[in-house]
Amino acid sequence: MYLKLVMQKKYAIEDAAQEFLRAMAGFINHTGWYVYKKKKDMIDWIFIFSILGIIFTFIVRSRG
């Protein structure tokens, strides 16, 4: 029972990480070009957020 709960929790966190990455990818696709044309410094923020998302995913995976 406990193991099942842990597994569900782990997968829920992984799904959240995947969802976060998907949302970030969508955000980059929608705003990336416009931001690139208008504000070059915003690119750094998008890059940082995507890196954070990837790192977060790796941390979640390695703990499991």
Q: What is the pLDDT of residues 19-47, one digit of tens each?
A: 887 887 777 776 666 666 666 666 677 78
pTM of the full structure = 0.35
Q: Calculate ∠ Cα 37-48-8, nearest 5°.
A: 125
| Predicted local confidence at residue 30, as pLDDT | 67
DSSP 39: -
Q: Check whether 1 has a pLDDT greater than 60.
A: no
Q: Check whether 51 has a pLDDT greater than 60.
A: yes
| Predicted local confidence at residue 32, as pLDDT | 62
Closest C-alpha to 43, from 55, 28, 30, 53? 28
Q: Which residues contact residue 44 at a Cβ distance below 8 angstroms, ignoring those fewer than 6 apart? A: none
| Predicted local confidence at residue 23, as pLDDT | 80
